């Protein structure tokens, strides 16, 4: 990632918000237990604009009516005593040399300098739901108001940052797509290894740990979100993250897991037999979900929305449920009543990027669906979930949960499935289940994956 990319993003954001001051704080460490913290995760917007990886920093951008731009970073000051405990800090002296900013100051100067930065500007954009920042702004603006007779504009127009930066983050740049392709590659290794390791008696926990380890290879940053490793009926819990049950012969294993690279997420689900061979009932149901996904791929093109794709996917799944005599009535009647939602309760896709559910808008200012365009990245994840005891569902399908999820990049030539190398056809999945873990891991040691 070159510095000019960050500078360009900052410039575009200042244009989008109409100038004035933009304030974007990074993340802080979050306490896990007394004297210990969770691993640090940078705020996605801050990362997008600066690339800076330390906690407790704040970016303040400003653009005045003459078009003059200032880029200021507030950050942790160097402190050898603290650095001995928690690691080296960049510090305000070095920061302008290596980061896409003009000036840098220690955090304790933020309150004082903010008043000077805001004076003369009428517009200010920040996360209006951030209470700490709101309090600081209230105090700062009060300070400007009471500053005697100086005839300076002060912010009257407060804007929420999220819709502006969300819009920018929708279409990915080439450096972002590269990170997502790398995340897809590590995600492939993880899923292949899981297929190889899974066997009756293996615990979901072992597979979860293996995924985390493999997602951390080379420049991987571990799992982008808590992996879902759900054997048997655990797959019916959509966000199952306990991952602590033994896998049973004859069950399916649903794994929803993706690697993170340079803060960009992979998000992939595969469902496969613990013993390596689908029963015919499992295979039939798996094929229904796979066909629904293929049907969805067929509708992906520039100018359609994620809602359109969801609608087509629901129709495909719904028709299959009618064919299997689980739902009664016509397709249109069932679509109208949404009867299928009992078995397919989630959406078919979401934006994907720095956040696994990327925070870009789904509706534009006129409440129209945002349409697929070159560079947008999203998931496609149909599924079916049948609880035990549902008399409308054939006995051999009760207790099954199947989801298949891939990561898609829209290009001018059509959709590109970034995660297509992860086995998915019945035969491919069964073959991948027969592979030994050693063969999968050998690939890792033979040459770098992420060239």
Q: How far from chain centre, in Å, is Cα 360? A: 11
* Beta strands at 123-126 and 20-25: parallel, antiparallel or unpaired: parallel
DSSP annotation of 432 reads H
Smaller CB separation from ligand GLY, 239 or 328: 239
Cβ-closest position to ligand GLY: 256
Name which of ligand GLY, Mn ion, none residue 221 binds, using a CB cut-off of 5 to 8 Å depending on partner kind: none
Q: Give the footprint of Mn ion on this chain (CB under 5 A).
A: 256, 267, 379, 405
Name which of ligand GLY, Mn ion, none residue 223 binds, using a CB cut-off of 5 to 8 Å depending on partner kind: none
Question: Tokens 């496609």 identify what position?
Answer: 380
> CA-to-CA distance for 324 and 401, rounded, in angstroms?
16
Q: Which residues are catalytic?
A: 35, 239, 256, 267, 346, 350, 357, 381, 385, 403, 405
DSSP reduced 3-state for 87: coil
Query: Rounded to the nearest whole angstrom, what is the least distance from the CB of residue 264 to ligand GLY in the complex?
Result: 14
Angle at Cα 182 formed by Cα 357 and Cα 95, nearest 5°? 80
Query: Rounded to the nearest whole angstrom, what is the least distance from the CB of residue 392 to Mn ion in the complex?
Result: 27
Cβ contact 69:61 at 8 Å: yes
Name which of ligand GLY, Mn ion, none residue 45 binds, using a CB cut-off of 5 to 8 Å depending on partner kind: none
Query: Rounded to the nearest whole angstrom, what is the least distance from the CB of residue 265 to ligand GLY in the complex?
Result: 9
DSSP reduced 3-state for 32: strand
Smaller CB separation from Mn ion, 128 or 241: 241
Smaller CB separation from ligand GLY, 20 or 382: 382
Cβ contact 76:86 at 8 Å: no
Query: Rounded to the nearest whole angstrom, what is the least distance from the CB of residue 346 to ligand GLY in the complex?
Result: 8
> CA-to-CA distance for 18 and 449, rounded, in angstroms?
43
Smaller CB separation from ligand GLY, 177 or 380: 380
For 35-69, letters b (16+ CB in 10 Å) and e give: eeeeebebbbbbbbbbbbebbebbbbbbbeeeeee
Smaller CB separation from Mn ion, 210 or 268: 268
Smaller CB separation from ligand GLY, 233 or 406: 406
Q: Give the footprint of ligand GLY on this chain (CB under 6 A).
A: 225, 256, 267, 350, 356, 381, 405
For 294-309, letters b (16+ CB in 10 Å) and e give: ebbeebbeeebebebb
The burial class, CB within 10 Å (0-12 / 13-18 / 19+), for 150 is exposed
Query: Rounded to the nearest whole angstrom, what is the least distance from the CB of residue 191 to Mn ion in the complex?
Result: 12
Query: Rounded to the nearest whole angstrom, what is the least distance from the CB of residue 331 to Mn ion in the complex?
Result: 26
Query: Rounded to the nearest whole angstrom, what is the least distance from the CB of residue 392 to ligand GLY in the complex?
Result: 26
What φ, ψ does residue 421 adopt, rounded to 5°? Answer: -75, -5
The burial class, CB within 10 Å (0-12 / 13-18 / 19+), for 436 is exposed
Cβ contact 104:92 at 8 Å: yes
Q: Where are the beta strands (DSSP E) in 327-450?
A: 377-380, 383-385, 401-403, 406-411, 414-417
Query: Rounded to the nearest whole angstrom, what is the least distance from the CB of residue 365 to ligand GLY in the complex?
Result: 26
Q: Which runs of consecutive H residues, i.e. helices, occur in 299-348?
A: 306-323, 331-337
DSSP annotation of 426 reads H
Smaller CB separation from ligand GLY, 221 or 256: 256
Structure tokens at 416: 């590109």
Name which of ligand GLY, Mn ion, none residue 225 binds, using a CB cut-off of 5 to 8 Å depending on partner kind: ligand GLY
Smaller CB separation from Mn ion, 256 or 355: 256
For 89-107, letters b (16+ CB in 10 Å) and e give: bbbbeebeeebbbeebbee
Query: Rounded to the nearest whole angstrom, what is the least distance from the CB of residue 239 to ligand GLY in the complex?
Result: 7
Smaller CB separation from Mn ion, 260 or 379: 379
């Amino acid at each position: 990632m070159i510095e000019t990319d960050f500078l360009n993003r900052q410039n575009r954001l200042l244009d989008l918000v109409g100038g004035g001051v933009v304030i974007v704080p990074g993340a802080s460490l979050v306490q896990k237990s007394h004297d210990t913290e969770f691993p640090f995760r940078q705020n996605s917007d801050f990362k997008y604009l600066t690339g800076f990886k330390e906690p407790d920093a704040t970016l303040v951008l400003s653009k005045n009516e003459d078009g003059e731009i200032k880029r200021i970073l507030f950050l942790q000051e160097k402190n050898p005593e603290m650095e001995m405990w928690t690691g080296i800090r960049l510090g305000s002296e070095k920061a302008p040399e290596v980061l896409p900013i003009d000036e840098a100051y220690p955090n304790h100067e933020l309150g004082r300098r903010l008043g000077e930065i805001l004076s003369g500007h009428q517009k200010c954009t920040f996360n209006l739901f951030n209470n700490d920042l709101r309090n600081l702004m209230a105090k700062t603006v009060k300070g400007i108001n009471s500053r005697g007779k100086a005839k300076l504009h002060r912010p009257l127009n407060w804007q929420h940052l999220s819709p502006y930066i969300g819009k920018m983050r929708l279409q990915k740049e080439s450096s972002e797509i590269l990170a997502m392709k790398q995340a897809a590659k590590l995600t492939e290794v993880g899923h292949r290894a899981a297929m190889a390791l899974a066997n009756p008696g293996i615990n979901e926990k072992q597979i979860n740990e293996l995924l985390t380890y493999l997602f951390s290879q080379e420049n991987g940053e571990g799992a982008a979100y808590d992996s879902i490793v759900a054997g048997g009926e655990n797959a019916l819990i959509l966000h199952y993250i306990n991952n602590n049950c033994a896998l049973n012969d004859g069950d399916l294993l649903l794994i929803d897991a993706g690697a993170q690279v340079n803060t960009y997420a992979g998000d992939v689900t595969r469902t496969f037999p613990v013993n390596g061979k689908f029963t015919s009932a499992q295979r039939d149901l798996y094929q229904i979900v796979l066909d629904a996904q293929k049907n969805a791929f067929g509708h992906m093109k520039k100018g359609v929305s994620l809602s359109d794709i969801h609608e087509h996917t629901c129709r495909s799944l719904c028709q299959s449920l009618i064919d299997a005599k689980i739902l009664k009535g016509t397709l249109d009647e069932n679509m109208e009543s949404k009867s299928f939602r009992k078995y397919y309760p989630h959406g078919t896709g979401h934006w994907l990027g720095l956040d696994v559910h990327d925070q870009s808008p789904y509706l534009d200012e006129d409440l129209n669906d945002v349409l697929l365009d070159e560079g947008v990245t999203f998931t496609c994840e149909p599924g079916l979930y049948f609880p035990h005891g549902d008399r409308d569902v054939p006995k051999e399908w009760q207790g099954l949960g199947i989801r298949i999820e891939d990561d898609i990049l829209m290009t001018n030539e059509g959709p590109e499935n970034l995660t297509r190398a992860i086995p998915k056809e019945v035969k491919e999945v069964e073959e991948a289940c027969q592979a030994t873990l050693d063969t999968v891991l050998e690939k890792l040691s033979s040459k770098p994956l992420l060239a």
